[in-house]
């Protein structure tokens, strides 16, 4: 085959993307309804691995675009913004893809595991972040051993456990003082986040029970009755500190009469008893403080 014919052939990546598009065009989304649940589960797991493999190709393409500087040539502010403008409109996702692509550059074994469908994109992000946090004096053999260990652990641990596992492994290569300082900073950051999400609601405190010799049978939430109730009792006065007109009831005439005489703050004795005639009882609403019940 001549060199001219070889140059006319499409690049393997171009042919691969075209083959993926053709395969997806032949897959009808409504066809999943008639399949057995076991078959659907198997195919769904395979699709998850395919998604991880496609994600690895996306990250490699993003890293190549970032290195080419094409974003500035087309007038975009960044590669992530250029990708977001091309499809999806999510600039934050585009910038995250650029960041993850750069992180995987320092963890080639993790990128190959992602491209092979052995780990997911989030797992690859955790492992690449752990490799990046290793001290500068870590040897290449130590980095490789750490990376291989985490790749093997990804199949057994959940994502939070894998993150904790990666932190414990990387701490083995750091000085103890630095590990303690980082742990303290992490603890303070978690406490601040917890305080920022906390909400406090006022809770009514329980009222202490009355003494055994108290004439008041049960504690009341208020220490004085409403003014309207006091004003209707013969001889009772309101608890106001300033003189106010009082209103009494003439039971014999069956009609109300208004008195303009100012009442004092101390209630005179009456047939019903003073509002505070019961010693030791702070509640003027209880029977012990009222005296006998009104007729």
Whether residue 146 is contained in a domain is answered as yes
- Mark 260-280 as b/e (b = at least 16 C-beta within 10 Å): eeebeeebeeeebbbbbbbee
The pLDDT of residue 253: 47
The pLDDT of residue 270: 41
Three-state DSSP class for residue 203: coil
The pLDDT of residue 153: 95
Count of domains forming the chain: 1
* Predicted confidence band of residue 6 (pLDDT cuts 50, 70, 90): low
Whether residue 166 is contained in a domain is answered as yes
CA 260/CA 242 separation, integer angstroms: 14
Q: How many CA atoms lie within 13 A of 102 on its CB side?
A: 10
* Predicted confidence band of residue 259 (pLDDT cuts 50, 70, 90): very low
CA 222/CA 283 separation, integer angstroms: 7
- pLDDT tens for each residue of 156-197: 999 999 999 998 888 888 777 766 676 677 777 878 888 887
pLDDT at 121 > cutoff 80: yes
pLDDT at 107 > cutoff 80: yes
The pLDDT of residue 151: 96
The pLDDT of residue 283: 47
Percent of the chain residues past pLDDT 90, beyond the cut: 50
Whether residue 205 is contained in a domain is answered as no
* Predicted confidence band of residue 260 (pLDDT cuts 50, 70, 90): very low
CA 255/CA 231 separation, integer angstroms: 15
Q: Which residue has the higher pLDDT, 269 or 115?
A: 115
Mean pLDDT for the stretch of residues 193-222? 64
Mean pLDDT for the stretch of residues 94-114? 95
Strand partners, 91: none
Whether residue 40 is contained in a domain is answered as no
Structural contact between residues 84 and 93, judged by C-beta atoms closer than 8 angstroms = yes
The pLDDT of residue 263: 44
Q: Which residue has the higher pLDDT, 268 or 13?
A: 13
Mean pLDDT for the stretch of residues 101-130? 95
- pLDDT tens for each residue of 125-163: 999 999 998 988 889 999 999 999 999 999 999 999 999
* Predicted confidence band of residue 289 (pLDDT cuts 50, 70, 90): very low
Whether residue 249 is contained in a domain is answered as no
Mean pLDDT for the stretch of residues 111-132? 96
The pLDDT of residue 231: 46
DSSP state of 261: E
**Which element (helix H / strand E) includes 262?**
strand 255-262
The pLDDT of residue 38: 95
Pick from 249, 212, 203, 204: which is nearest to 230 by CA? 249
Query: What domain range includes position 165?
Result: 122-175
Angle at 55 between CA 49 and CA 56, to 5 degrees: 95
Whether residue 189 is contained in a domain is answered as no
The pLDDT of residue 111: 96
Whether residue 194 is contained in a domain is answered as no
Q: Beta-carbon neighbour count of residue 192 at 10 Å?
A: 10
pLDDT at 242 > cutoff 80: no
The pLDDT of residue 164: 92
Contacts of 57 (CB under 8 A, 6+ apart): 13, 115
Contacts of 10 (CB under 8 A, 6+ apart): 18
Whether residue 148 is contained in a domain is answered as yes
């Amino acid at each position: 085959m001549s060199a001219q014919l070889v140059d006319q052939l499409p690049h393997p990546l171009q042919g691969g993307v075209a083959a993926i598009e053709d395969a997806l065009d032949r897959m009808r989304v409504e066809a999943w309804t008639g399949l057995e649940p076991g078959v659907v589960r198997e195919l769904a797991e395979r699709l998850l691995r395919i998604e991880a493999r496609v994600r690895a190709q996306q990250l490699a393409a993003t890293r190549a675009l970032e290195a080419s500087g094409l974003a500035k040539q087309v007038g975009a502010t960044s590669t992530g913004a250029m990708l977001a403008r091309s499809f999806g409109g999510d600039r934050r996702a585009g910038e995250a893809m650029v960041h993850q692509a750069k992180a995987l550059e320092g963890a080639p074994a993790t990128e190959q595991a992602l491209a092979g469908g052995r780990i997911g994109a989030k797992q690859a992000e955790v492992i690449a972040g752990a490799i990046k946090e290793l001290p500068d004096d870590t040897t290449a053999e130590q980095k490789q051993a750490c990376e291989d260990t985490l790749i093997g652990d990804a199949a057994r641990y959940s994502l939070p456990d894998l993150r904790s596992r990666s932190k414990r492994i990387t701490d083995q290569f750091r000085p103890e003082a630095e590990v303690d300082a980082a742990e303290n900073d992490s603890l303070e950051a978690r406490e601040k986040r917890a305080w920022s999400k906390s909400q406090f609601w006022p809770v009514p405190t329980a009222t202490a029970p009355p003494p055994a010799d108290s004439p008041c049978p049960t504690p009341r939430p208020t220490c004085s009755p409403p003014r309207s109730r006091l004003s209707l009792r013969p001889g009772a006065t309101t608890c106001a500190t300033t003189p106010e007109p009082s209103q009494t009831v003439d039971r014999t005439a069956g009609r109300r009469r208004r008195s303009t005489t100012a009442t004092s703050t101390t209630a005179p004795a009456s047939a019903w008893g003073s509002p505070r005639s019961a010693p030791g009882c702070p509640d003027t609403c209880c029977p012990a403080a009222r005296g006998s019940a009104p007729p």
